[in-house]
Chains A and B, each alone.
Chain A
Amino acid sequence: MARGALTTKNRLNRGDNAWAYVFIAVALIGYAMFTAYPFISAFIISFQEYRPLGSEFIGFDNYADIFKSELFHKALWNTVIYTVLTVPVALILSFAVAIMIMPLKKWMQTTFKAVYYLPAVASGVALSVVWLWIYDPLQGGILNQLISVFGIENQNWLGSSKTSMFSLVFMSWLSSHGTSIIIYVAALLGIDESYYEAADIDGASFWQKMWHIVIPCLKPTTLFLLVTGVIGSFQVFQNAYLMTGGGPDHSTTMVGLLIFDTAFKYFEFGKAAAQSLVLAAIIGIIAFIQFKFLGKDVEY
């Protein structure tokens, strides 16, 4: 009997292996060529001084350069500052907005979600072009007009090393919360109603429900957004590249941009590969720490 069932099953599944390999063939070839090979290649290049015809192995020189380089330290520091200023604010903002959306009617929820998501639909280049004009340092610049209402004098937003980093951060505050708002709303809708009912019976206030139900239930979501947010922020380069070019005086040079410049401005591929692997290691360590300390009672 058992044997019969087994052979039937075998007969039914005959050819499955072959089909499965056909189904994943393109994905695997694409992956091998455009992800796995470049990844391995990055390690090799990082030990070389790259030349199109015959690179030369130089051992750990590229890595030694990085750790000695003041610019790399500065870029790393800038990246940390940018991350600390953007990621937590984005999380708190999107959490607050998601909570405030909850008691509204369905059509209002949808409209607000769409509105907040809209900047994520526009291309980064288009947004950077617009923000460049918003930050126009002349008196007529939009932001300068706005702050003059409050009696604050003209700022050279992107052109001064005092305000350049803040300008990039401020832009991120206003254009990168769409995704996390939507994710938070979905997570809030997923909380079991019975928790609230039980709390109501006990006469819990809004803030008590918030503290004892919402925040614990949303911990996995927050962790997910935090980890992906930090990882994303450590790779940031497009806005800095398009708006300040890393300046003035390297005040907005972040690691992502430094790697880009090393590779495609100075064509030092070996050094760029080494920098990118150091960045990858740092990101890996940070993600690990976040999971270790915050993910204790989060189950996946």
Chain B
Amino acid sequence: MALFNNHLGNPTFKYVRNTVIVILLLLFALATLFPIYFMVMSSFGDPIEAGAVSYSIWPGKFSLESYKFFFNFSEYSYRWLLNSLVVASAVMVSNVVFATTAGYAFAKIQFRGRSVLFAVLLAAMMIPYQVTQVPLYILIVNVFEIQNTYEALILPSIVTVYNIFLAKQFMGSIPKEILESAKVEGASQFQILIKIIMPLSKTVMAVMAILTFMDTWNTFFWPFLVTNTMDMQTIQVGLKNFRFANTTYFAPMMAGATISAVPMFILFFSLQRYFLEGVTVGAVKG
């Protein structure tokens, strides 16, 4: 039996109980989904100023004019999507590669300084990002003078401590006998990594790839700080600019928001398992 009694003698009670639960959960789901529904539904309205619009929560008409309006706002609006794609892909690849290698080293190789270095890395997770943000900005903009470049957008997140931690946790459970027998066979550490560790770590690599891509795609603050021309901005920064420039255009703003969010929705629904797994990997022990 479990937490909930099965009420074997009283199936009606169980049925009523589950119905009540589902209704409550549905109501909460409705409240959670409403903003997203409202966003997508309203984006198909006409691009007219808000004074003339009366909001409705029911779908009225289907027009793509507001999407056109959003893309016509700047000659670089398609470029924003491309920039987001380039930056998110680059950050994703570098994180998967370097967090996998580092995670393996920390999990399975007994090298000098291992525990000290890992502790130093972990300590970074305690630092609020506000602390490093200002000096990092000075470093990128005033010292390296690479503001408004892809490098500025990509380099600071080249590999995150969180991903290293994730990889290390996962690889810790790979039995060391496998690795030892590979060594006896004469495999080098590099061969072990490529031929044994990586095939066994596909799940965690997929989780890292997806979560890193999503985080980078959705990030607003850093690209907003280090870009200063429209052609280098990401979709999130572009959307923010559009909002401040067209404060009264309701439907086009929703179209912009939808454009910025839909790629992640598609990714989420096609790779849901990895998303939900990724959330728990870091949090639940074992």
Q: Closest residue of chain B to A183, judged by CB?
A: B283
Q: Mark B87-121, 1 if CB is under 8 A from A, else 0.
A: 00000001000110110111001111010010011
Residues of B within 8 A of A34 (CB): 132, 136, 139, 155-156, 158
Classify chain A's interface size. Answer: 35 or more
Known: A41-B135, A133-B55, A174-B32. A200 touches B221 (CB 8 A): no
Q: Mark A225-267, 1 if CB is under 8 A from B, else 0.
A: 0000001001101100010000000000000100110011000
Residue in B104, B131, B218, B243 with the greatest tally of chain A CB atoms within 10 Å: B131
Known: A221-B283, A269-B134. A125 touches B220 (CB 8 A): yes
Residues of A within 8 A of B124 (CB): 31, 35-36, 39
Does B138 lie at the interface of the complex (its beta carbon under 8 Å from any beta carbon of A)?
yes
CB distance from B234 to the nearest CB of A (A): 10
Q: Closest residue of chain B to A129, judged by CB?
A: B257
Residues of B within 8 A of A287 (CB): 126
How many angstroms between the C-alpha atoms of A31 and B99 in the bound complex?
Answer: 12
Asked if B33 contacts A242 (CB within 8 A), the reply is no
Known: A104-B22, A130-B38. A16 touches B110 (CB 8 A): yes
CB distance from A140 to the nearest CB of B (A): 5
Q: Of residues 3 to 51 in A, which have CB atoms within 8 Å of B's CB atoms?
A: 12-13, 15-17, 19-24, 26-28, 30-31, 33-39, 41-42, 45, 50
Does A134 lie at the interface of the complex (its beta carbon under 8 Å from any beta carbon of B)?
yes
Residues of A within 8 A of B209 (CB): none
How many angstroms between the C-alpha atoms of A20 and B137 in the bound complex?
Answer: 31
Asked if A186 contacts B280 (CB within 8 A), the reply is yes
CB distance from A126 to the nearest CB of B (A): 4
Q: Of residues 206 to 233 in A, which have CB atoms within 8 Å of B's CB atoms?
A: 206, 209-210, 213-214, 220-221, 224, 231
Asked if B35 contacts A131 (CB within 8 A), the reply is yes
Does B21 lie at the interface of the complex (its beta carbon under 8 Å from any beta carbon of A)?
yes
How many angstroms between the C-alpha atoms of A295 and B106 in the bound complex?
Answer: 27
How many angstroms between the C-alpha atoms of A287 and B136 in the bound complex?
Answer: 25
CB distance from A10 to the nearest CB of B (A): 12
Residues of A within 8 A of B258 (CB): 126
How many angstroms between the C-alpha atoms of A21 and B113 in the bound complex?
Answer: 10
Asked if B36 contacts A196 (CB within 8 A), the reply is no
Give the contacting residue for B134; candidates A16, A272, A283; CB below 8 A.
A272
Pair count A-B, CB < 8 A: 302
Give the contacting residue for A122; candidates B31, B102, B261, B286; CB below 8 A.
B261
Does A124 lie at the interface of the complex (its beta carbon under 8 Å from any beta carbon of B)?
yes
Asked if A114 contacts B117 (CB within 8 A), the reply is no
CB distance from A170 to the nearest CB of B (A): 10
Does A61 lie at the interface of the complex (its beta carbon under 8 Å from any beta carbon of B)?
no
Asked if A15 contacts B189 (CB within 8 A), the reply is yes
Give the contacting residue for B128; candidates A52, A125, A234; CB below 8 A.
A234
Stretch at the interface among A63-71, A84-92, A95-103, A154-162: A95-103
Asked if B127 contacts A39 (CB within 8 A), the reply is yes
How many angstroms between the C-alpha atoms of A273 and B127 in the bound complex?
Answer: 13
Asked if B31 contacts A30 (CB within 8 A), the reply is no
How many angstroms between the C-alpha atoms of A182 and B275 in the bound complex?
Answer: 10
Give the contacting residue for B280; candidates A16, A39, A182; CB below 8 A.
A182
Residue in A41, A52, A123, A277 with the greatest tally of chain B CB atoms within 10 Å: A123
Residues of B within 8 A of A220 (CB): 285
How many angstroms between the C-alpha atoms of A127 and B267 in the bound complex?
Answer: 18
Residues of A within 8 A of B225 (CB): 264
Residue in A100, A110, A269 with the greatest tally of chain B CB atoms within 10 Å: A100
Give the contacting residue for A119; candidates B17, B36, B158, B276; CB below 8 A.
B36
- For the complex of A and B, 9 pairs with smallest distance between CB atoms: A20-B111, A19-B189, A38-B135, A41-B135, A126-B257, A23-B105, A38-B132, A123-B218, A23-B101
